[in-house]
Amino acid sequence: MKFNTTLQVAREESFNIEQPEVSVSSISSHITIVESRDGKSHVKILADSKKAMKLAEIVEIDEIDRKLVIRIDKKTWSVNTSLPLDMKNQNFWGINFGGLRGLSVEIALPASAVLKIKTVSGDLLVNQTVSELEIGSVSGQVTISKNPSTSCSIKTVSGDIATHTFSSCDYTLKSVSGDIKVYVAPDLNVEVDGNSISGELNSEISLDGNDESSTGTSKVVSITTSTISGDFNLVRN
């Protein structure tokens, strides 16, 4: 996953929400989740051009009943009359891509956050431990560098999933035309329930309770996985 290092901050907002529920929906924008240093939720909209800097103004960022909602998708500008007509009329399969080009999002969250993300044609990097994580992705790569503390559900179409696991977590991982790779720390045991159509299930970790690579811990990672035209690989970190 490669993120543009020349992006500029076009917009920045902060919210002081205890145990926030965060919902993000995006088309064609990369999303990065990072650690909050002060316990608050911080949202940065990043732009790669002057035109994108102006488009950042219409991104929906709202706090509603302790829920933080961030939208960079069709609904954001379909009701916005200030957009130029040439951007409004750029459609593909009913999805307007004109207003999304050049924008990315960086969100800093506390560990207590519950995070739900829907993204199309954009990569996602989660580099912060949250409480719960739910992801739906189409044509984008999903990378989890720090797993959630309780549960993680990921569904992708035409995109790969790579997740690094350092603590007990319940995973549900589903992919169509994409590979799934789970990296497991040495001090974790693994339970897997998996199936694949036109793909392979591979594990370098013994799943019969005799894994010599584990350290005898009682901590368990539970993984339910299914793939269509994609491989599942389980490896040690």
The gap from C-alpha 177 to its chain's centroid, in whole angstroms, comes to 18
Burial 169-207 (b: 16+ CB within 10 A, else e): bbbbbbbbbbbbbbbbbeebbbebebebeebebebebee
Is 39 among the domain residues? no
Residues 6+ apart with CB under 8 A from 151: 132, 133, 169, 170, 171, 172
Cβ contact 32:7 at 8 Å: no
Alpha-carbon separation of residue 63 from 23, 68, 72 (angstroms): 10, 5, 15
Is 212 among the domain residues? yes
Do 101 and 139 share a domain, yes or no? no
Is 1 among the domain residues? no
Do 144 and 216 share a domain, yes or no? yes
Give me the tens of pLDDT residue by residue for the chain, a chain 237 residues long: 444 458 999 999 999 999 999 999 999 999 999 999 999 999 999 999 998 998 999 999 999 998 999 999 866 555 443 444 344 444 433 434 444 579 999 999 999 999 999 999 999 999 999 999 999 999 999 999 999 999 999 999 999 999 999 999 999 999 999 999 999 999 999 999 999 999 999 999 988 766 665 556 689 999 999 999 999 999 998
Cβ contact 117:73 at 8 Å: no
Domain total for the chain?
2
Range of the domain at 156: 131-237
Do 188 and 164 share a domain, yes or no? yes
Which DSSP letter does residue 51 get?
A: H
- From 121, 150, 174, the end of a domain falls on 121
